[in-house]
Chain A
Amino acid sequence: MSDRIKFILGKIPLHVVIILLCLVWITPTVGLLVASFRPRQDVVQSGWWVAFAPRKVAGQDVYEKYLAPYYGPDGKAVEGVDLSDPELIGQFRRSIELTAFLREQMEEGKIQLEEMPDPQEMADLLTYLRQLSGAGSAASRPRFTINNYVDAVVGYSGRANYIESCVEGDPAEDDACLGTGLTSERGMATAFLNSLWVAIPATILPILFASLAAYAFSWLDFKGRQWLFVILVALQIVPLQMTLIPIYRIYAKAGLTGTFLGVWLFHTGFGLPYAIYLIRNFLGGLPKDLFESAYLDGASHWTAFYRLAIPLSVPALASLAIFQFLWVWNDLLVALVFLGGQTPVLTWQINSLVGRFTGMHLQTAAAFVSIILPMLVFFAMQRFFVRGLLAGAVKG
């Protein structure tokens, strides 16, 4: 029994190290996630961890120190002066007016203060009284809100937020309402659809062409088969940057800049060497007899390809599809060069938000809009993901 306890105790440092590492790894993401749900003023005023701290009502301590002994905790203890009356508190526009009021109260003998609150305390006191009476709404911000997400999705970048300004309020009063909405080209909704529309064909096309070529490489004989494949292995390391300039020049001449077709083709060309390599490694590992007997039974190459090779290589194709999809979805460089701001994808849109100091709250939400899909794909298909990785992920 004591051995067992020793064993468990001995493992404690191990658990501590692992849990610490995991915490370090997950905290940055969690922090941004929390921040993305905070009101925009809070995002730039205090760290995300403050969202969980007990709320300190500004000025409450000042009130308790100076006024509570006379007016009571609810502000109603002195007859004829009701500090919880919004009409009374509403009169005090600035803290200096509250100071004057308190002086008056002292002269009337209703309160006896040894010293007046200093200007900072007075400001806090006014904030507290406004909250107590309900005369001001500024203090009663919710802890969490989905406004950042709404604003990011519809492309609202004004001083207020989309729901209050453009839906509940009068859109004519806020210039930033112009051109907002689910179809706004400044919004993440449009960018999300653009990203999908870029990524789906850019995933299907290379896999389609690659499986055809991989079939030839693994089960057909032709002159130069080995050499061609060695060249393919070498092509995998060609940096994307290498191909950008010539293609950019050709696209500019052919009018393909800014078109989806141009991006699909580029991603296809660039994804092919790795895709062929991966599928060939898988197909080539299938038993030879399988194909031999299919041919002996009179199957054509085409039948052997789409009845035998394709169904059998579904796991490899799935791994590849996940990789290619995430690669295209997360790509910024190709989108910057070939799509730009006319057809903004998610990465482009977020990049354009970064560095604008007014848009911190939009950045946080926009980042998560772009992360949601990869996360779902990752959790739903972790098995394929890891398998694809192990098959030799040299990409980029």
Chain B
Amino acid sequence: MAAPKGQVPAIMKQAGHAPWLYLAPALLIMLFFVVYPTVNTIYLSFLDTEGEQSAAITCQEGQPCWGPFENYRHALTDETMLLAFRNNLLWIILMVSGTTALGLIIAVLVDRVKYEPLAKAVIFLPMAISFVGASVIWNYVYDYQAQGNQIGLLNAIVTALGLGPVPWTTTGPWINNVALIIVGVWMWTGFCMTILSAALKSVPEELLEAARIDGATEWMVFWKILVPIIAPTITVVLTTMTVNVLKIFDIVYVMGKGQPGTQVIATRMYIEQFNKSNSGLSSAIAIILILAVLPIGYINIQRFREQEAMR
């Protein structure tokens, strides 16, 4: 089990009811706001749009029908949902690898210069900005004018190179998604950099020096020594980012307004519930989302137990 038994001083074992008094407020609030809603969402996912009757009644004649799993049929087979899954997958592939790789590269590079804190602050700054604020910032970078002056930096550069301007956020199926993912990478690279940089600094300098004296190139030092040593931290960053990206909502909601081509799972869920008032389908989408993050929850618990065992 997690913590070794001897950790709590013997004298505190006579705590009686006291622990529960300390725990009560937090447990009650979490029970109401996290545990109950999760269970309720599972229940709602089998009901109709109003959450009153079985989802089976929404079946239509001549159409395939999964009975009470009808919402799941929609969530897993509707074209808009398939598109959302594809987009979310693209987000995971590009953003998780992008932020981790860039974060690692920057962490390694700035480690060698004196203005490291300044450079890190610049990269990290977007983390403090809201997704909405970032969306405004990047909408302005991506701005597109069919003719005349380009006021968006990107199209100004493109036209200065003699090419035609591109409507970045509305050109499907890839450019629009990639344009949004770049915003995500811009915001979260600082996070990865900070965590990876701390891990790099804990690698003993003598180890690296010894390898260099033995004739190892910087490239070899990086791949053969640094990366294997900080591998556990890289895993943490990868899993954390995957959860973050799976739940991505704000950037897509604000920047991709009204565009079906950029929808992801979380925005589909929001639209089904609050624009289309279909709580059954919306709940089913939420369940699919949590099923997707479940493996990562398991990894987190495993890691937690390992940490506790080492305490």
CA distance A331 to B250 in the complex (A): 8
Number of residues of chain A lying within 8 A (CB) of chain B? 104
Partner of B279, one of A245, A276, A375: A245
A243 touches B34 (CB 8 A): yes
Pairs across A and B, CB under 8 Å, 8 listed: A11-B112, A49-B153, A217-B23, A219-B12, A247-B33, A273-B30, A332-B131, A386-B194
User: Does B171 touch A at the CB level, under 8 Å?
Assistant: no
Interface hit among A107-115, A130-138, A284-292 = A284-292
Type the 1/0 row for A225-252, where 1 means its CB is closer than 8 Å to any CB of B.
1101110011111111111111111000
B151 touches A43 (CB 8 A): yes
User: Does B27 touch A at the CB level, under 8 Å?
Assistant: yes
User: Does A32 touch B at the CB level, under 8 Å?
Assistant: yes
Q: Which residues of A contact B135 (CB under 8 A)?
A: 354
User: Does A342 touch B at the CB level, under 8 Å?
Assistant: no
User: Does B72 touch A at the CB level, under 8 Å?
Assistant: no
Q: Which residues of A contact B283 (CB under 8 A)?
A: 245
B128 touches A375 (CB 8 A): yes
Interface hit among B78-86, B89-97, B138-146, B173-181 = B138-146
Q: Which residues of B contact A284 (CB under 8 A)?
A: 3, 7, 311
From A243, A270, A350, A374, name the one whose CB has the most chain B CB atoms within 10 angstroms: A243
Q: Which residues of A contact B132 (CB under 8 A)?
A: 330, 332, 346-347, 350-351, 354, 367, 370
A371 touches B133 (CB 8 A): yes
In the complex, which residue of chain A has the Cβ closest to the Cβ of B304?
A233
Q: Which residues of A contact B191 (CB under 8 A)?
A: 389, 393
A377 touches B128 (CB 8 A): yes
User: Does B216 touch A at the CB level, under 8 Å?
Assistant: no
Partner of B33, one of A31, A219, A266: A266
B301 touches A230 (CB 8 A): yes
Type the 1/0 row for B166-199, where 1 means its CB is closer than 8 Å to any CB of A.
0000000000000000000010000100110010
Q: Which residues of B contact A29 (CB under 8 A)?
A: 125-126, 129, 137
CB neighbors of A among B110-163 (8 A): 110, 112-113, 119, 121-133, 135-141, 149-153, 156
User: Does B213 touch A at the CB level, under 8 Å?
Assistant: no
Q: Which residues of A contact B243 (CB under 8 A)?
A: 237, 394, 396
Question: Which range holds the interface residue count of chain B?
Answer: 35 or more
A394 touches B240 (CB 8 A): yes
B34 touches A238 (CB 8 A): yes
A14 touches B112 (CB 8 A): yes
Q: Which residues of B contact A386 (CB under 8 A)?
A: 194, 198
A301 touches B136 (CB 8 A): no
Partner of A239, one of B240, B247, B282, B304: B247
Partner of B109, one of A14, A225, A332: A14
A354 touches B128 (CB 8 A): no
Partner of A241, one of B1, B125, B254, B286: B286
A245 touches B37 (CB 8 A): yes
Interface residues of B (CB under 8 A from A): 1-3, 7-9, 11-13, 15, 18-20, 22-23, 25-27, 29-30, 32-38, 40-41, 44, 51, 106, 109-110, 112-113, 119, 121-133, 135-141, 149-153, 156, 186, 191, 194-195, 198, 236, 240, 243-244, 246-247, 249-250, 253-255, 257-258, 266, 269-270, 273-274, 279, 282-283, 286-287, 289-290, 293-294, 296-297, 300-301, 304-305, 311
User: Does A120 touch B at the CB level, under 8 Å?
Assistant: no
User: Does A182 touch B at the CB level, under 8 Å?
Assistant: no
User: Does A22 touch B at the CB level, under 8 Å?
Assistant: yes
Decide if the interface of chain A is mainly helix, strand, loop or mixed: helix
CA distance A349 to B300 in the complex (A): 36
A28 touches B12 (CB 8 A): no
B33 touches A243 (CB 8 A): yes
Given contacts A219-B8, A234-B301, A243-B33, contact A226 B136 (CB under 8 A): no
Partner of A288, one of B7, B13, B25, B198: B7
Q: Which residues of B contact A226 (CB under 8 A)?
A: 1-3
Interface hit among A60-68, A79-87, A173-181, A207-215 = A207-215
Q: Which residues of A contact B123 (CB under 8 A)?
A: 21-22, 25
User: Does A390 touch B at the CB level, under 8 Å?
Assistant: yes
B125 touches A291 (CB 8 A): no
Type the 1/0 row for A276-314, where 1 means its CB is closer than 8 Å to any CB of B.
100000001000100110011000010001000000000
Q: Which residues of B contact A228 (CB under 8 A)?
A: 23
CA distance A235 to B27 in the complex (A): 12
A246 touches B293 (CB 8 A): no
User: Does A15 touch B at the CB level, under 8 Å?
Assistant: yes
Q: Which residues of B contact A301 (CB under 8 A)?
A: 15, 18, 22
B289 touches A273 (CB 8 A): no
Q: Which residues of B contact A272 (CB under 8 A)?
A: 26, 29-30, 34
B268 nearest CB across to chain A (Å): 10
Q: Which residues of A contact B125 (CB under 8 A)?
A: 25-26, 29, 375, 378
